[in-house]
Amino acid sequence: MRLKFMGAAATVTGSNFFLSSEKTGLMVDFGMFQGKPEEVELNSVKPDMDFTKLSGVILTHAHLDHCGRLPLLARYGFKGPIFMTEATKALAELVLYDCAKIAKEAEGRSILYTDEDVEVILKQVSLVEYDKRFDIGGFTVTLVDAGHILGSASVVVEERATGKSVAFSGDLGNTPEPLLSPTHFVNKAKVAVVESTYGDEIHGPREEIEDLVKIIQKAEREKGTVLIPSFSIERAQELLYIFDQLKKDGRMAYETPVFLDSPMAIKATTIFKDFPVLYSQKLKDQVKTDDPFDFPGLMICDSMEKSKQIKNYEGTKVIVAGSGMMSGGRVVHHALNYLEDPKTQLVFVGYQAEGTLGREILDGKKRVNIWRSQVEVKAEILEIKTMSAHADQEQVLNWLKKIEGLEEVALIHGEDLARLVLSEKIHQELPDVKVILPIINQEIKIDS
């Protein structure tokens, strides 16, 4: 077998891997590069691989950096099946149409694909369930619940002729997640391709609820604004779930409004409600008597008009808006309105990739460019790290330790420092396992 790393190698975004044997091959993820301009350019470059060998594609989950380039597959001549779970399909549909729409609206940028391309590719989707084996060319594949977002999976691929197997972690959850089932482990593999987003960090105990209480109570005292750039999928639902709890137990004022200002997050919440079977046990119990994503004061901003009206609202308010890294979406106009106000608390609750506005602000830049105007950052900048949907160093190590027969680990989906620190740790704790840090378009041979 040969394994080629065509994305998320020495960077976080653009996940894309090609595993091939003599006659057949499969692709895992075909995600968008986001962040640095030189990486974004790669989105329009056809991957350097043998498409004639491609028997099937597997999508681990619906985040854009994993699914974002799928609509290009048809243009590259691929007409075969694209395997994913049902929840992943529902969310990927949302993400891909949104991406096509943003491309259409962005002036002066070349359009990567259109609605029609998305439509074509969705027809190629083949739904699979967790823990059920299926075949792609000469391989047998199993998806395992990764506990990262709704429908997310790790992938185990076995070459039938040799019995050798490769496990792709996909993105691993920060288990236990309040909303989802815990991450399931992979029992056996020779090679593991594992994410390393937080390879250099330990998240520490989950204190996001206490952190949010402090932030909201401060805003309530000062009549300030809490602005939360949020990923639409998972993070937004998690926030709603927390606000629902806080309003119930009186730690957040009944009348403090929460503006959910993201069309994507609104739709994702609806999809979330369609898959209670994937919830954590606690949430399964709760939905029997209560809607955990709805509470007094929740304002759903499903139109641009409603979004614009938020700034006319004078008192304390919480705004949850996309995109999560402030690289676009409605959060950008809120940043323009509120960053210069010292009573604003800008709260990051997710990963900020290099090259994004969110990262610039998080790194402490006091003056940023938004839509060609210079904006002074006077808002208080806060970060809640424990809300990450990604496993930390300990969780990744734990995931690796469960794999029987593991000989080699490739660290992907992480910046270089995170990968180096994690690789050092693996050397210490799993001394017999070889670690590689692949760069883009590197190919490795998997011998028997």
Supply the minimum distance, in Å, between the C-beta of residue 195 and Zn ion: 8
| Nearest-approach distance from CB 320 to Zn ion, in angstroms | 19
Binding residues with Zn ion: total (CB under 5 A): 2
Interaxial angle between packed helices 263-274 and 86-105, expressed in degrees from 0 to 180 and rounded to the nearest 10: 170
Cβ proximity to Zn ion: between 63 and 334 the closer is 63
Q: How far is the CB of 61 from Zn ion (least distance, A)?
A: 6
Residue 201 vs 302, nearer CB to Zn ion:
201
8 Å CB contact between 17 and 193: yes
Backbone torsions φ then ψ of 340, nearest 5 degrees: -85, 0
- Taking CB under 5 A as the binding criterion, the range among 121-129, 167-175, 239-247, 339-347 that sits at the site for Zn ion is 167-175
Peptide bond into 257 cis (omega under 30): no
Told to check if 413 binds Zn ion by CB under 5 A, we report no
267 binds Zn ion (CB under 5 A): no
According to CB under 5 A, which one of 145, 158, 171, 238 is a site residue for Zn ion?
Answer: 171
| CB closer to Zn ion out of 34 and 423 | 34
Report which secondary-structure segment, H or E, holds 436. Answer: strand 434-436
CB 87 within 8 Å of CB 278: yes
Cis-peptide, bond into residue 323, ω within 30° of zero: yes
Give yes or no for a contact between 173 and 186, defined as CB atoms under 8 angstroms apart.
no
What CA–CA distance (Å, rounded) separates 271 from 61? 14
Min dist CB 354 to Zn ion, Å, is: 17
Q: Two tokens at 288?
A: 């029997």
Site membership for Zn ion, residue 29 (CB under 5 A): no
Q: Which is nearer to Zn ion, 211 or 234 (CB)?
A: 234
Which amino acid is located at 321 in the chain? Answer: A
Name the residue with tokens 């949020």.
230
**Residue number, 63 or 267, with CB nearest to Zn ion:** 63
d(CA 158, CA 156): 7
Considering only residues 55 to 94 of the shown chain, the ones binding Zn ion according to CB under 5 A are 63
Query: Of the ranges 3-11, 169-177, 293-301, 394-402, which one interacts with Zn ion (CB under 5 A)?
Result: 169-177
Name which of 21 and 88 has its Cβ closer to Zn ion: 88
Q: Angle between the 115-123 and 86-105 helix axes, to the nearest 10 degrees? A: 160
- Does 195 bind Zn ion (CB under 5 A)? Our answer is no
C-beta of 146 vs 318, nearer to Zn ion: 146
What residues between 273 and 332 interact with Zn ion by CB under 5 A?
Answer: none
* C-alpha to C-alpha distance for 156 and 376, rounded to whole angstroms: 48
Residues in touch with Zn ion (CB under 5 A): 63, 171
